[in-house]
């Protein structure tokens, strides 16, 4: 089961009910442009949309169940919606306080993070690591997104996976920073308190001009399109970027940390 098949099921259900895209948009209280984006594969459906479409089209929960199946095949279901935004983004801005952002992690570093505490089975660890590595393919698109990654020095000093894994991870950061579309900034320890200590977040800008944001807590991630929250995180981003070192100084710091690891 993949998302292309899910879209085919949605179209079939809509046709069977005699409902146009515009009609479905009115029934589920979503914009017609968003319905079109989902049906053309430019947006990944959320579970909220699937449930609303099931109710509007009288499909008895079929679309929601099919979406759960598709999600299970591609990592945690709660992350599926964000992967759609991430893969389509024209610009990504990500901040992490405790570790290297997922899109910049090496496989060994990611495995150490995901397997920490033994909370995930070996099979699930393998699956989640594969998903994380697969996400990085967006860097190889014909037109990759413009990316800015902000991270705290404390996260770069944490010996995740041990000294060898961390040294390789820092080397990978230096290699990634050579890409013309990617910038890395580090907030030095001397800054002390800053507005990002509460947790990481990602801001995505999409081809249609819309924006989405992603927040993580200890249990799961949340995709949000709340204007008020987006405004708050934009202000947080500006504050954090103001505290960060320049790109050149950030890379110099990463080189020094790599040598001393």
In angstroms, the CA 202 to CA 93 distance is: 6
| Per-residue pLDDT at 250 exceeds 90 | yes
Cα(12)–Cα(30) distance, integer angstroms = 19
Angle at the Cα of 55 (from 74 to 50), degrees rounded to 5?
15
- With a pLDDT cut of 90, the percent of the chain lying above it is 59
Q: What is the tens place of the pLDDT at every residue in 161-197?
A: 999 999 999 999 999 999 999 999 999 999 999 999 9
**Could you identify the residue written with the tokens 């320049």?**
246
Q: pLDDT tens, 24-80?
A: 999 998 888 888 888 887 777 878 888 999 999 999 998 888 887 766 555 565 566
Q: Which domains does the chain have, with CATH numbers?
A: 3-72 (1.10.260.40), 81-104+136-260 (3.30.870.10)
pTM (2 d.p.): 0.71
Closest CA to 107 of 71, 79, 73, 131: 131
144 to 54, 140, 160, 180, 223: CA distances (angstroms): 35, 6, 28, 10, 21
How far is residue 116's CA from residue 35's CA, in Å, rounded to a whole number?
40
In whole numbers, what is the pLDDT of the chain averaged over residues?
89
Mean pLDDT, residues 117-141: 90
**What is the torsional sign of CA 52, 55, 61, 63?**
negative
Query: Is residue 218 very low, low, confident or very high in pLDDT (cuts 50, 70, 90)?
Result: low
Phi, psi of 161 (to 5 degrees): 80, -5
């Amino acid at each position: 089961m993949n998302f292309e098949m899910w879209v085919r099921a949605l179209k079939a259900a809509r046709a069977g009910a005699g409902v146009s895209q515009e009609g479905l948009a009115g029934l589920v209280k979503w914009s017609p442009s968003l319905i079109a984006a989902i049906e053309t594969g430019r947006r990944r459906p959320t579970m909220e949309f699937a449930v609303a479409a099931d109710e509007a089209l009288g499909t008895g929960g079929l679309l929601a169940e099919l979406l759960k199946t598709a999600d299970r095949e591609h990592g945690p279901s709660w992350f599926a919606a964000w992967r759609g935004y991430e893969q389509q983004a024209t610009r990504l801005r990500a901040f992490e306080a405790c570790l290297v952002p997922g899109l910049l992690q090496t496989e060994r570093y990611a495995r150490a993070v995901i397997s920490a505490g033994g909370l995930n089975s070996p099979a699930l660890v393998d699956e989640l690591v594969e998903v994380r590595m697969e996400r990085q393919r967006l860097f190889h698109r014909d037109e990759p997104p413009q990316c800015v990654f902000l991270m705290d020095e404390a996260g770069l000093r944490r010996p995740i996976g041990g000294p060898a894994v961390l040294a390789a991870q820092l080397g990978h950061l230096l290699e990634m920073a050579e890409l013309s579309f990617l910038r890395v900034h580090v907030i030095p320890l001397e800054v002390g308190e800053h507005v990002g200590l509460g947790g990481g977040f990602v801001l995505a800008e999409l081809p249609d001009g819309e924006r989405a944001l992603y927040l993580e807590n200890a249990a799961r991630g949340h995709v949000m399109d709340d204007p008020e929250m987006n405004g708050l995180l934009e202000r947080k981003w500006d504050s954090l970027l103001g505290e960060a070192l320049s790109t050149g100084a950030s890379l110099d710091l990463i080189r020094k940390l790599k040598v001393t690891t």
